[in-house]
Amino acid sequence: MRVCSVVGARPQFVKAFPVSRRLRADHEEVLIHTGQHYDEALSGVFFEELDIPEPEYNLGVGSGGHAPQTAEMMRLLDEVIEAESPDVVLVYGDTNSTLAAALVAAKREPTLAHVEAGLRSEKWSMPEEVNRVLTDHCSDLLLAPAENAATTLREDNIRGDVVVTGDVMYDAVLAVRDRALDESTPLPIPDLRPGEYVLATVHRASNTDDPDRLAGILDGLAAVDEPVVLPLHPRTDDALRRHGLYDHAADAIRLVDPVGYVDFLRLLSNASRVATDSGGVQKEAFYLDTPCVTLREETEWVETVEAGWNVLVGSDADRIAAALTDRSERPPKPELYGGGDAAARTVAALEAKLAGATREAKSADATEE
């Protein structure tokens, strides 16, 4: 089996590395990096830390508006997929890289497989929602992280095959957990005490592009008595300066450079709470037993909210501060996204899909004869 795996952003690097390891044991993989995240702290360091193979292709697309960025990705991906002739194009999540690869593959012969299929925020104004819904409808094989997502796909009358694999990000966390939780290794930011700080991440355009929402988030974080540490995504850095909020943020919050995956998990596991607008961080917090406060009005990972380990607060400063200072006990944690074998299940589903397609092709040839 020959697979072209397409990645372009930090969460996709994390999701891809356990699947790539499993794929390369028995199959051929061609790794394509679109260059959607091109900053070393958001891209290169993850390949190094996670021992992800160097991409066979780095398209270097970089940032840009949704339409021109997606169009350029499609143009370049079309050339690569034609040259490589894969059996499968494998895409992850809900970025512009995901949609671009899905649209290209849907008009060519390879099987299109979507990891993290079936997630919904029910908020069509989010670019990620558009990307994930369209990718699901294009896909031949839909790899759902949980039964809720699979139910959504079936209710949407998706044409492709649906398989519940569990969450590949859990595989990734388990693979580096010992390094991340090694108590002999100090926290990557000086003067922090385990359990006595809040970790924050803010990067979604719906929060960074709206000065009122961004100011509300900053006010909520500033109201917390504990130190608040915010690794600064380039988009957020730019937004703070553009909206005249940088000094306000720097006065109340520890703004630090982005950190690598292992260091981030170390910070996350030792935080008293995390405040985030990232879907991936919501899950990572759940896996590492860190209560999560989500800076959005909705989430694709509804199971974490239902389990009592995640609360949605939007950008309201009072709700953010209240949630971050709540010290009530969390309920027992259920197993929501599989047992850490999602990569193996993903590869098995690809093998079964290709085997079925081969049988159908042979049957069709025999009928024609």
Query: Which neighbouring-strand residues pair with 111?
Result: 88
**What does the alpha-carbon distance between residue 74 and residue 34 come to, in Å, rounded to a whole number?**
10
Query: Which neighbouring-strand residues pair with 228?
Result: 198
Residue 137: active-site member: no
Whose tokens are 């993989």? That residue is 29
Contact between 176 and 262 (Cβ < 8 Å): yes
Contact between 56 and 31 (Cβ < 8 Å): yes
**What does the alpha-carbon distance between residue 343 and residue 168 come to, in Å, rounded to a whole number?**
6
Query: Which neighbouring-strand residues pair with 200?
Result: 275
**What does the alpha-carbon distance between residue 251 and residue 200 come to, in Å, rounded to a whole number?**
15
**What does the alpha-carbon distance between residue 43 and residue 240 come to, in Å, rounded to a whole number?**
22
Contact between 164 and 150 (Cβ < 8 Å): yes
Q: What is the DSSP letter of 297?
A: S
State the Cα angle at 124 between 4 and 323, rounded to 5°: 100
Of 38, 104, 116, 112, the residue nearest 76 (C-alpha): 104
**What does the alpha-carbon distance between residue 256 and residue 141 come to, in Å, rounded to a whole number?**
40
Instruction: Choose, from 203, 233, 243, 248, the residue flagged as catalytic.
Output: 203
Pairing outcome for strands 254-256 and 310-312: unpaired
Task: Write out the catalytic residue numbers.
Answer: 203
